[in-house]
Amino acid sequence: MKSTRHLETLAIHAGRVGDPSFGSLSTPIHQTSTYVFDNVAQGASRFAGESEGFIYSRLGNPTVRELEQRVAALEGAEDGIAFASGMGAVAAVIFGHLQQGDHLITSKALYGCTFALFTEDLARFGIEVSFLPEVNANTVAAELRPNTRMIYLETPINPTLEVIELAPIMALAKQHDVLSVVDNTFMTPVLQRPIELGADLVLHSATKYLNGHGDVIAGIVCGSAEAVTNLRGGPLKTMGAALGPMDAWLIIRGLKTLPVRVERHQSNTEHVAQWLRQHSQVGNIYWPGFKEHPGHSLIGTQMAGPGALIAFELNGGYDAAVAMMNAVKLCRLAVSLGDAETLIQHPASMTHATYSPEELAEAGISPGLIRLSVGLEHHEDIVADLAQALAQAQQETLAARPSAA
């Protein structure tokens, strides 16, 4: 699917399956579970993988196929495969590639359900996991074992926004014949293309920016044609987390504006982050766009920009954070990210509630950490809402304080 076309063009045209029957501009929603064969020989040859053509929509569907081919083109990958959720994609990659006795290396901070899969489920299947507090080529090299089969990374990490330098780790993985997987949900292919940095597989919660409108749950994995074929014949077929055509169609529609949306998400974030940083109630603030952020130097090489997620703490700690999140009016108190609406949430009790208090502390997720996904509203309106929520939080914190008298 490699192309020299620009990303904005690929987001609209790449991988088109289209409508050979009537020529409709918009891709038809092939709302069908099964496909009629001309004869038994044709059906049998499709099952045997000897001829092209659809069989049954768990294994493939024309509308879903267009989505897969388009995201693969955006990621610079040979092929892609869609799943019913981001976690469906993560689970397919893990169970499609690892077996009892294998070893996986990842970071301590990760999306909460990925962490739960790695801690709870992989232990049951006899797969060892090393969770590194700091991930770089040296710490990964020190953790490699003869049975290491996979390195699985998020960058920037959800929700701490730590940035991992991918290229040296991907090179190390290749050297040691270890599969490298990058969750690119936070960046999207507009800002970061891990395959070009040497990753074997890149995956997304397509629920987020790829769709962008908060109305679909979906996942996608991109990589070599061989890896994708193996996932289709393996975990998609037998574990069955297949994406429906209507949801695929909604993401195809969302993708057309992905580059434009990401640009605006990011420029809004620049305003919001700078405003938050100077606010007297705001303590630590994490956004790779700040010069002091340790990952900032990778902007321009690994990443085309810092993205549109901000994490921050208030000087008033947990109570102030709760009061602020309860007080937003325009911004919505909701998990997920990458939607038109600005979303605010509390990782410790929500997206990362799968971590114990000790695990949260080790992963650098403080009890008062707030995660903000900056949306597409006007940045002045987002700031005005955050300002009133902070003022409300201040009032409540003062009112709750025992009086000095």
Ligand X SMILES: Cc1ncc(COP(=O)(O)O)c(C=O)c1O
Catalytic residues, by residue number, are 58, 111, 183, 208
Rounded least distance, CB 286 to ligand X, Å: 15
The answer to whether the peptide bond before residue 156 is cis (omega within 30 degrees of 0) is yes
| Closer Cβ to ligand X, 77 or 157, answer by number | 157
Instruction: Round to whole Å and give the CA distance between 165 and 190.
Output: 17
- The β-bridge relationship of strands 103-107 and 148-154 is parallel
Give start and end residues of each alpha helix (H) in 29-61: 40-47
| Closer Cβ to ligand X, 185 or 366, answer by number | 185
| Closer Cβ to ligand X, 342 or 397, answer by number | 342
Would you give the end-to-end CA distance of the chain in angstroms? 72
| Closer Cβ to ligand X, 17 or 209, answer by number | 209
Rounded least distance, CB 338 to ligand X, Å: 9
Instruction: Round to whole Å and give the CA distance between 347 and 366.
Output: 9
Reference 77, options 167, 158, 185, 2; nearest CA is 2
Task: Phi first, then psi: give them for residue 69, nearest 5 degrees.
Answer: -70, -35
Q: Coil, helix or strand for 231?
A: helix
Closest residue (Cβ) to ligand X?
A: 86
Q: Please list, in sequence order, all residues whose beta carbon lies within 8 angstroms of the beta carbon of residue 56, skipping any fewer than 6 positions away.
A: 33, 34, 35
The secondary structure element, H or E, covering residue 172 is helix 166-175
Rounded least distance, CB 240 to ligand X, Å: 15
Residues engaged in binding ligand X (CB under 6 A): 85-87, 111, 113-114, 154, 158, 183, 185, 205, 207, 217, 219
Which CA distances in Å does 64 have to 11, 31, 243, 335? Answer: 15, 10, 7, 26
Rounded least distance, CB 387 to ligand X, Å: 27
The answer to whether the peptide bond before residue 28 is cis (omega within 30 degrees of 0) is no
For residue 315, the one-letter residue type is: N
Instruction: Round to whole Å and give the CA distance between 80 and 68.
Output: 5
And the tokens for 217?
């749950």
| Closer Cβ to ligand X, 102 or 247, answer by number | 247
Q: How many helices (H) and strands (E) does the chain have?
A: 16, 12
| Closer Cβ to ligand X, 206 or 282, answer by number | 206
| Closer Cβ to ligand X, 211 or 394, answer by number | 211
